[in-house]
Amino acid sequence: MKKIAFLQNGASNKVLLLMGFLFLATFLCNPLQAQSKSITVKGIVNSEIGPLEGVSIYLKNSKTGTVSKADGSFTFPSQLKAGDVLIFSYLGYDKQSIIITETSTYLDIFMKEAPIDVLSAVNNNKRYKSKRPKKS
Amino acid sequence: MKFRYFFSGILLVFALQAQTQAWDFDHISFKKADSLAMVNKGASLDDLPELVYNLTHSLETDAERFRAIYLWVCTNVKNDYGLYAKNKRKRKRYQDDSLKLEAWNEKFKKRIFKTLLKRKRTICTGYAYMVKTLSQLVNIDCKIINGFAKTSSGNLDDLRYPNHSWNAVKLDGKWYLSDPTWASGVQNLDNSRFKFDYNDGLFLAPPRLFAINHFPLEAEWFLFKDMQPTFTDFLEAPIVYNEAYKLLANHKTPQKLYNEVPRNYTLNLECLLKPNINPKKITLDIDDGISSKTIVPDNFIIKDQKLYVKHNLTKYGFYDIHLSIDDQLVVSYVYKVKRFKAKSN
């Protein structure tokens, strides 16, 4: 008797599993298709002073990347998929993150200069010497 | 009763917030982070993502990642005295003309970044910018804090306009302060040369000690809410040296650099030492303008990491008094011992 109940339970578990799988499949199907499509990303990096050479362009959380050429152009060395994030970074400019979509085959990036005030104080560890009154 | 617990809970939170400093991470070893900073010594700034990847990819915590970045910047970027002097001159000249100041800043900014990229030389903002940029590339929340910094020159003319930048970084949900410029090394003003000499005391520095010579433009970056110094307090504060950050968690009294006192006044000094600091030697250098003598103070005790120093000023005169702990210059005061006229009615 116990065995039958167990078998029945097992069968219903299987049905549940199958249903769960179908349910998941319908949800995941579209993104799966989208993710499987690889995209070649090209583009240009500009700034106020024109095309920017030497901008580091890399895929977030990886070491894959490239740098922009003298005319600001770049071709990302590996195929990307929708949802990937490309980071553009260059000293003195604000970093930019671009989320790749299926249509991101050509990126026109404008890098903005970092808004900073250039300040400086030098500490030399020299012993303090007070300005004494002439008569003390 | 419940309210009492509630309020003591809030008080505890404030107390904890006020104590965000390097020894919060005593349970983490920075050995690996430090060795990664050393291994990457001399790396170029051409590719920041690659640099930050090499510095941090094998580290597990944000504190270690920040440490590797910060130490790398401090030990690879030089202070450029020429740039410093030029910027100081121009900013002083344009301090009352915001348009000219802005135009200068825009022009100079480009030069700063070019020099940083090609020669790895910069001034304060460049250090703070490097630490911020590299940290943000590994998703560590890090900011540049602008404000006023009081150097050992004690020249108050330098404090008429903001003159320094440092960093605030958020680790494990708490904000910490660090000063990569001053941690990096020492500038020799006589020959304009810069010497790398890393000072670990300015890494996640204790906020109350930091506030004695760093005054942020926005008060929230003191990182403590009770007893925040006013700008006048800051201007009048004693001179605290970089070495102090290696030894002290806080400096309490005297709160002023310049003091006028009667004869036989007892100088009362109180500092809080960092955990694990057990000084062997406490000395005072007393300079009367003609000669300087090093003495052991009349009395000093260390109790619960609090250092109390007492010394009687028995002679009239004008003295620069410097406290050294284990031969490291920590803090300076000025005492004028004078006759006080009796008040007449």
The 10s digit of each residue's pLDDT in B126-176 is 999 999 999 999 999 999 999 999 988 877 777 888 889 999 999 999 999
The residue of chain A with its CA nearest to that of B199 is A125
How confident is the prediction for chain B on average, in pLDDT? 90
User: Residue range B307-315: average pLDDT?
Assistant: 96
Q: Which fold has domain B22-237?
A: C8orf32 fold (3.10.620)
CA proximity to B302, closest of B323, B277, B330 = B277
- Going by pLDDT thresholds of 50, 70 and 90, the confidence category of residue A1 is very low
Greater model confidence, A38 or B307? B307
Can you give the pTM of this predicted structure? 0.82
In this prediction, residue B80 carries a pLDDT of 86
Where do the H-state alpha helices sit in B47-158?
A: 48-56, 62-76, 81-93, 98-119, 124-137
Q: Into which CATH architecture does domain A42-110 fall?
A: Sandwich (2.60)
Comparing B92 with B261, the larger pLDDT belongs to B261
**Residue in B with minimal Cα distance to A62:** B53
pLDDT recorded at residue B1: 47
Confidence of residue A12 (pLDDT cuts 50, 70, 90): low
Decide if pLDDT at B339 tops 70. Answer: yes
Which residues in chain B are closer than 8 Å to A63, comparing Cβ atoms?
Answer: 50, 53, 57
Say whether residue A133 is in contact with chain B using an 8 A CB cutoff: yes
Angstrom distances, CA of residue B121 to CA of A55, B82, B114: 20, 10, 9
B88 contacts in A (CB within 8 Å)? 120
Question: CA B67, B70, B76, B77: dihedral to nearest 10 degrees?
Answer: -170
Alpha carbon distance A88, A57 (integer Å) = 5
Q: Quote the pLDDT of residue B19.
A: 66
Q: What is the largest CA-CA distance in chain A?
A: 112
pLDDT band at B234 (very low <50, low <70, confident <90, very high): very high
Handedness of CA B166, B168, B169, B174 (dihedral sign): positive
Query: CB of B199 within 8 A of CB of B329?
Result: no
Q: Which of residues 204-263 of B touch A (CB under 8 A)?
A: 239, 241-243, 258
How far apart are the C-alpha atoms of B295 and B287, rounded to whole Å? 11
Of A56, A114, A116, which is closest to B47 when you measure between CB atoms? A56
What are the residue boundaries of the structural domains of chain B, listed by start? Answer: 22-237, 251-337
pLDDT score of B98 more than 60: yes
Write the pLDDT tens digit of every residue in A90-135.
988 999 999 999 998 999 999 998 888 788 777 777 899 988 766 5
CA distances (Å), B339 to each of A13, B162, B180, B316, B334, in order?
A: 97, 38, 45, 8, 16
Residue A97 to residues A33, A88, B138, B211, Cα–Cα distance (Å): 24, 6, 13, 35
Question: What would the pLDDT profile of B168-197 be if each residue is shown by its tens digit?
Answer: 999 999 999 999 999 999 888 777 788 899
Express each pLDDT in B280-296 by its tens digit. Answer: 999 999 999 999 999 99
Of A116, A120, A124, Cβ closest to residue B87:
A120
Asked if A135 is an interface residue toward chain B (Cβ–Cβ < 8 A), one would say no
Q: Determine phi and psi for B234, rounding to 5 degrees.
A: -65, -45
Band (A136; pLDDT cuts 50, 70, 90): very low
The rounded distance, in Å, linking the Cα atoms of B130 and B44 is 13
Report the distance separating Cα B43 and Cα A61, nearest Å. Answer: 21
Question: How confident is the model at residue B16, as a pLDDT?
Answer: 46
Q: What fold characterizes domain B251-337?
A: Immunoglobulin-like (2.60.40)
Give the model's pLDDT for residue A16. Answer: 73
A-B interface: how many C-beta pairs under 8 angstroms? 142
Please tell me the predicted confidence (pLDDT) of residue B314: 95
Are the beta carbons of A65 and B109 separated by less than 8 Å?
no
Residues A117, B104 contacting (CB under 8 angstroms)? no
Are residues A117 and B129, on separate chains, in Cβ contact within 8 Å? no
